[in-house]
Amino acid sequence: MTNFAKNILCIGAGYVGGPTMAMIAHKCPQYKVTVVDINHEKIAQWNSDRLPVYEPGLDEIVRAARGRNLFFETDVERCVREASIIFVAVNTPTKAYGAGAGMAADLQYWEKTARQIREAADSPKIVIEKCTIPVKTALAMEKILSSAYGSVRFDVISNPEFLAEGTAMRDLEFPDRVLVGSRETGQGLKARREVVDIYANWVPRERIIESSIWSSELSKLVANAFLAQRISSINAVSALCEKTDADVREVARAIGLDSRLGSRFLNASVGFGGSCFKKDILNLVYLCRSYGLSEVADYWEGVVKINEYQKERFVLTMLSAMFNTLAGKRIALFGFAFKADTGDTRDTPALCIAKSLVEERAEVVVTDPKALENARADLAGVERVAYEIDPYKAARGCDAIAVMTEWKLYAELDYERIYASMAKPAFIFDGRNILDHERLFEIGFNVFSIGKTPMAHA
Ligand code: NAD
Ligand code: UGA
């Protein structure tokens, strides 16, 4: 049997646990890395040729490390006993019940994990918060862990994950920064160093930053809030552009070249989606309210409100452009994933748009290169929705196309061919501003994009 320098465990084999541990195993062949999950089906998929998560570059790394120093398992108790360093990457969704419903983080999964660790551990463990949680959660984790009858020592570390889906492997290999927070006691600092040492195998030391545990926990929520705030800011401006003949892409370019602002995350869109932005901001809002900071809470809540407004606005634009009725009209949704290069559809704007269109009695055809299976599950029971992998077939006979996801392939389609196959007048609503609008107008489409005066034929 190989003797590994460290025995690392991750509880939770989702979008974060799987790719993050695959990267550690890839970069550190001297460590044994195990990922455990209560979902047996998911673990079977991780052990198969069809991984449960689609990320460019992930398959290759998993294939090379699996069975060598990367293992996917279901026996949580045994895995906890064997590991000395335990990452916790379980889900922390928005609470759907009781106090704080619709706002607070639902901490039942991580709390259960803390109890599982406490019950199974018979030697010291470093327990790492990888999931996104409210600031001060480590305190609760420490209390649960230290209420064991035995004398096992636990050190809780905060090491939030900043990867974005679709670019997860690149983000993990070349992170802007890795953040490790701990208690600032002798023992806390020692545990912090152990975690820093793992990343130091491939991340330049100056990119590994250390802080108090509370700053680390809070930084994760604040990072997501700032990113989402930029999108809501440019989306708010897009509404004004549409009223004033300005072009939001030109405005974004002009402000983004100011080095104090930077050019990234200024793409106006149909709205941000994904499992985290909305949930993490609502969590931040709830925290602020619970500390009596209502003005601060209102400020951040505005980011989510603008996002909802942007999605509603998109459907209203479609409705008014198409002569105030969508009943019986066929509309192809180009893309269902919440962003390109992922099959993830959690909180995707496409879901909300699809449902609104169906409420208007439209016939919806969904196409997406990676997310059709999830789209089917998300829209189960919703009538008047069809699914088609081929965008050309999806658009055939349609009155309109609405681009929901910025998949590169949608910018490269033959729109003359598509136009010829559609009902007339034909409309395109580009919810991601990825198409060549002038060219589409020349072909004959009525073109509606985000933050730009519509181009409609008389
Ligand atoms: P996910 O739902 O994809 O995966 C979570 C996994 O944890 C599930 O497979 C679930 O079965 C498992 N799990 C739950 N309770 C368990 C238990 N007691 N024992 C073993 N396994 C258990 O979630 P995710 O997207 O990977 O997110 C995990 C955390 O990371 C969240 O807090 C999220 O906010 C944060 N995060 C996510 C991303 C992202 O891009 N998805 C990025 C950064 C941070
Ligand atoms: C986001 C953050 O970028 C990660 O740093 C963070 O770790 C992660 O949340 C998390 O905590 O889960 P992710 O949601 O995977 O990552 O993807 P993003 O690239 O941030 O995109 C989020 C949404 O915003 C997508 O719907 C995307 O299309 C949209 N977006 C992004 C815009 O509408 N405009 C932009 O300019 C950028």
pLDDT for 151 equals 79
pLDDT digit string, tens, across residues 11-69: 999 999 999 999 999 999 999 999 999 999 999 999 999 999 989 999 999 999 999 99
pLDDT for 2 equals 72
The whole-angstrom separation of Cα 101 and Cα 273 is: 20
pLDDT digit string, tens, across residues 309-325: 999 999 999 999 999 99
- Ligand 2: does its nearest atom lie under 6 Å from the Cβ of 314? no
DSSP code of residue 104: S
pLDDT > 90: percent of the chain? 97
- Ligand 1: does its nearest atom lie under 6 Å from the Cβ of 10? no
Ligand 2 center to residue 253 CA distance, Å?
19
The whole-angstrom separation of Cα 357 and Cα 362 is: 6
Ligand 2 atom with minimal separation from the 432 CA: 33
Q: Is 292 helix (H, G, I), strand (E, B) or coil?
A: coil
Residue whose CA lies nearest to ligand 1 atom number 11: 39
Sheet holding 330-334, edge to edge: 385-387, 363-367, 330-334, 400-403, 427-430, 446-449
- The pTM (predicted TM-score) of the whole model is 0.96
pLDDT > 70: percent of the chain? 99
pLDDT beyond 80 at 96: yes
pLDDT beyond 70 at 453: yes
Nearest ligand (C-alpha, residue 131):
1
- Ligand 2: does its nearest atom lie under 6 Å from the Cβ of 164? yes
Candidate of 9, 36, 37, 115 to mutate for ligand 1, largest count of ligand atoms within 8 Å of Cβ: 37
> pLDDT band at 333, cuts 50/70/90?
very high
Residue whose CA lies nearest to ligand 1 atom number 41: 15
pLDDT beyond 80 at 246: yes
**Mean pLDDT of the region 301-316:** 98
- Ligand 1: does its nearest atom lie under 6 Å from the Cβ of 94? no
What contacts 431, CB < 8 A, 6 or more positions away? 269, 270, 314, 349, 353, 402, 403, 404, 450
Ligand 1 center to residue 18 CA distance, Å?
9
What six digits make up the tokens of 408? 């590169």
DSSP code string of 175-186:
-S-EEEEE-SSH
pLDDT for 272 equals 98
What six digits make up the tokens of 31? 């460590």
> pLDDT band at 359, cuts 50/70/90?
very high
Ligand 2 center to residue 326 CA distance, Å?
31
DSSP code string of 153-182:
-EEEEE------TTSHHHHHHS-S-EEEEE
pLDDT for 149 equals 66
Residue whose CA lies nearest to ligand 1 atom number 27: 91
Candidate of 275, 277, 281, 283 to mutate for ligand 1, largest count of ligand atoms within 8 Å of Cβ: 275
**Mean pLDDT of the region 267-282:** 97
- Ligand 2: does its nearest atom lie under 6 Å from the Cβ of 227? yes
Mean pLDDT of the chain: 96
Beta strands in 89-207 (DSSP E): 125-129, 154-158, 178-182
Residue whose CA lies nearest to ligand 1 atom number 43: 161
Ligand 2 atom with minimal separation from the 406 CA: 28
pLDDT beyond 80 at 280: yes
pLDDT for 1 equals 57
The whole-angstrom separation of Cα 387 and Cα 98 is: 37
**Mean pLDDT of the region 170-196:** 98
Which residues form the catalytic set?
Answer: 276
**Mean pLDDT of the region 208-221:** 97
- Ligand 2: does its nearest atom lie under 6 Å from the Cβ of 348? no
